[in-house]
Structure 1
């Protein structure tokens, strides 16, 4: 597969002349956060991160989606963190959409460029630094790991999307495919972060209605996406946040592929008792 480019926000602030009407929406079933909302004034700073800022796309929210949080990080040259995660028992995925970073896992450095993907287990000691000359931007997806007696926690690893062949969905002639970074039947994993690709005209041909929560960040292209009872136009840079059982489907609009980074929680019983 050839190297790709992905949409990444750069901040700024809209002019005073811009109309306030926008595609942003938050409902009791889903939210759409369009790329035009990623301005300077909605970024957050985090403890122990230098020369870095974060757009918080989603966070656990009672009565909505509760299993994960997702950020877009922007790290300036020389920036990063020696202590990036301040909460114990948290696993993470890093996906680089622009620039390059050095991710050090248990003392071993890994160079991650655009398309780079890392899974960080809850036991992993890691740090991250931008040793380049340009800003780096990456997604950081965090989840409290759900251990199960008799299953080991997954190992950390680093790879790149360009080194993985997408898996076509059955009976779609390749117009709908998923880039999987872990084996779907590996029950050590309690979340999957994948990349879904639709060729122009490709569709999800039914309204998916399921227990998994979703975060979907559009990396490339455009589509009309079904969210609950609404059809919403989305494009590269937009983010969709879905609670469990929100119906969903889509039509890929072209002229190029429609691709998104997808989070979902998997492989665990539904908790029935207090933890």
Structure 2
């Protein structure tokens, strides 16, 4: 019925996350299908997309293995090193897996916001286009100009912006984020995930804190290019799955395109 287009799985026994350490007490625990499934059932979510959380090829193989054993995981978004030509072989190999959807570089962790525009990275984008795979843009407002340049360069690339490009909701910083997201929305091949927004909000956020950002994303992109995601388990750091789901339904549940935002956009985009 409903789709969660963005969540993670991880195991603290693996050593390739980098950012996930015991110091991160809110998230330093295994997050696996048996932990998420009861939450999905509570909200009528029947299908999901799992997204990489570690910058490694091993991560993609790990998630594909979980997807093989988990029928409700309908797709995997993995990782490759765009700057390593040998990784093109991994993309080709994974493309034969029925649940492999595409890749996501962790751009928010790379110092140079224009790194992704380097000519040396073009073969990876060309491979994604040739194999009809997805590219997910994980960035922050400092990447908005970069994203516009990138998506104009590759109009055939199946593209989605994660977490609404992480607007600084805690500081009520709407512009220039709003204007630049509007420019990105003019590109018909670019989609946007309604996810991760509570992470950018203040502790104790309310519906009114999120409303301008949710409204703008839906208005700019249109319901048929917006897809809801939980960003579980990260969402548990500031409100939780239930609270984010409730505020989403309050803000878009009566929208004429709610069926797209809550499921159909993701089904069409990820093709399941």
TM range (shorter): 0.3 to 0.5
**TM-score, normalising length: structure 2:** 0.35
Larger radius of gyration: 1
Per residue, is there more strand in 1 or in 2? Answer: 1
Indicate the structure with greater helix content.
Answer: 2
